[in-house]
Amino acid sequence: MASSKVFYSDLRASHRQNLMDKLTMLMDHTGIRDIVKPRSLVALKLHFGEKGNVAFIRPVFIRHIVDKIKELGGVPFLTDANTLYAGSRSDSVTHINTAIANGFAYSTVNAPIIIADGLRGASISSVAINQETIKVAHLAKEIVESDILISIAHFKGHELSGFGGTIKNLGMGCASRRGKLDQHSGLSPKIKRKKCIGCGECINHCSQHAISLMEDNKAMIDPKKCIGCGECILICPNGLIDIDWGVDMEIFQKKMAEYCVAVLRNKQDKALFINFLSNISPACDCYGHNDAAIVHDIGILASRDPVAIDQASVDLVNQMSAAEGSCIKKAVNPGDDKFRDIYPKIDWNVQLRHAERIGLGSKDYEIVPIQAG
């Protein structure tokens, strides 16, 4: 497959050209004018951040993208699908309230929020894709119904896929709760019980009440109640909760990439992908906190290829030195794999390799820096 163009803006700015100007240039280079048609309903898929997390993309950037779409005659709305776990985004009402609390009010972003899978996640569009691990994908309906899709991903580490970028924003982020459950269904966390001190942290955190303390004062997960959300893995202060990373992780990442195929099925030449490489936190924005960034802010990428943009993003992060005071232990030098340092058992390459194999895009890319005006 030929290499794909990934347009890149660093974060340098001047009185002649600020970051909004550069974001406009990125969208223009990526061909947003060819994508957005007058009166088309344009879904801007982003993550509003869990309550307490502050690593998500600043609303002012989203407003700039909204205004650009309106200028082209499109009708934008901000969207995400409800979460599988019971946090501050698990139904549409709390989800919108959290988004507004995090700065995504209409008065700031100039567009409404529509949670794509309905009040409690039952608004589903099922798409047959007949892939290796997913035959039928259950997507959030309003994303399927939209005319145009613009993925705006905060690039960061991720406890289940190594990193999270465009593929995760689309594959997992556009899935309905049923679809998310499908993707997590192979994940079965286990507790190393011998070392458990019975502190109860995991019990308090599990939204499904799947963990309980047994008579020996050690925690145990009930596999019948566990939905495989993975939220408990990072919570145990002693790191005693684990999954079968070899098998489970490979299938999880494959499923995520295949869901991405479903999301883009009716969006041929109607989708554009933007990754923000800033506040690159070690874990997902689904947590109610974000640890210090693992590298300095890098910039903004835009592409028409969801695989190329994620490959370029992970490479750019790994080319950096680790940020001082971050959680990175050994991979401190340029070229060291920062995500493998945080999640030694997760081969993040799986999502990229599989996405390329099933025709989502190309791992070969050409970085095209946008020229300063």
Considering only 67-75, 218-226, 264-272, 356-364, which stretch makes contact with ligand SF4 by CB under 6 A? Answer: 218-226
Please identify which residue in 153, 210, 295, 355 interacts with ligand SF4, judged by CB under 6 A. Answer: 210
DSSP string, 312-365: HHHHHHHTSPPPTTSS--S--STTS-HHHHHSTT--THHHHHHHHHTTS--S-E
**How large is the greatest C-alpha to C-alpha distance in the chain, in angstroms?**
68
Listed in sequence order, the DSSP H helices in the chain are: 19-29, 32-35, 59-71, 92-101, 106-109, 141-145, 166-171, 177-184, 201-205, 245-264, 306-318, 338-342, 349-357
In whole angstroms, what is the distance from residue 88 CA to residue 136 CA? Answer: 28
> Using CB under 6 A, which of 221, 256, 274, 370 touches ligand SF4?
221
Using CB under 6 A as the criterion, what x/- string covers residues 223-262 for binding ligand SF4? ---xxxxxxx---x-x-xx---------------------
* Min dist. Cβ of residue 267 to ligand SF4 (A): 31
Nearer to ligand SF4, 239 or 334 (CB): 239
x/- contact string, 299-328, with ligand SF4 (CB under 6 A)?
------------------------------
Calculated CA dihedral for residues 223, 226, 227, 229, nearest 10 degrees: -120
Helix 59-71 / helix 19-29 crossing angle, nearest 10 deg: 50
Q: Which is nearer to ligand SF4, 100 or 220 (CB)?
A: 220
Number of residues that bind ligand SF4 (CB under 6 A): 26
Q: How far apart are the C-alpha atoms of 285 and 57, rounded to whole Å?
A: 10
Between 227 and 355, whose beta carbon lies closer to ligand SF4? 227
Q: In sequence order, what E strands does 70-223 have?
A: 75-79, 124-128, 136-140, 148-154, 156-158, 162-164, 190-191, 211-213, 219-221
State which residue, 20 or 234, has the beta carbon closest to ligand SF4. Answer: 234
Residue 158 CA neighbour count, 13 Å, CB half? 26
Give least dist CB 195 to ligand SF4, A.
7
Nearest to ligand SF4 of 157, 189 (CB atom): 189
Q: Judged by CB under 6 A, does residue 76 bind ligand SF4?
A: no
Nearer to ligand SF4, 226 or 309 (CB): 226
**Shortest approach of ligand SF4 to residue 231 CB, angstroms?**
4
180 to 209, contacts with ligand SF4 by CB under 6 A? 189, 191, 196-202, 206, 208
Nearest-approach distance from CB 82 to ligand SF4, in angstroms: 16
* Among 219, 262, 314, 346, interactor with ligand SF4 by CB under 6 A: 219
Least distance CB 204 / ligand SF4 (angstroms): 9
308 neighbors 4 (Cβ within 8 angstroms): yes
Dist CA 51 CA 104 (whole Å): 13
Residue 265: C-alpha distances to residues 102, 126, 162, 234 (Å): 31, 12, 25, 34
CB of 88 to ligand SF4, least distance (A): 16
Residue 138 has a CB neighbour count (10 Å cut-off) of 22
Minimum CB separation from ligand SF4 for residue 71, in Å? 43
How many CB atoms are located within 10 Å of the residue 183 CB? 26
Should residue 140 be labelled a site residue for ligand SF4 when binding is judged by CB under 6 A?
A: no
- Asked if 172 interacts with ligand SF4 (CB under 6 A), we say no
First-to-last CA distance in the chain?
33
Find out whether 291 and 169 touch, Cβ atoms under 8 Å. Answer: no
Token digits for 190?
């286990």
Q: Which is nearer to ligand SF4, 75 or 220 (CB)?
A: 220
User: Closest Cα partner for 108 from 146, 149, 57, 165?
Assistant: 57
CB 65 to ligand SF4: min, Å: 33
Shortest Cβ 235–ligand SF4 spacing (Å): 6
The distance of closest approach from Cβ of residue 237 to ligand SF4 in the complex, given in angstroms and rounded to an integer, is 6
Q: Interface residues with ligand SF4 (CB under 6 A)? A: 189, 191, 196-202, 206, 208, 210-211, 219, 221, 226-232, 236, 238, 240-241
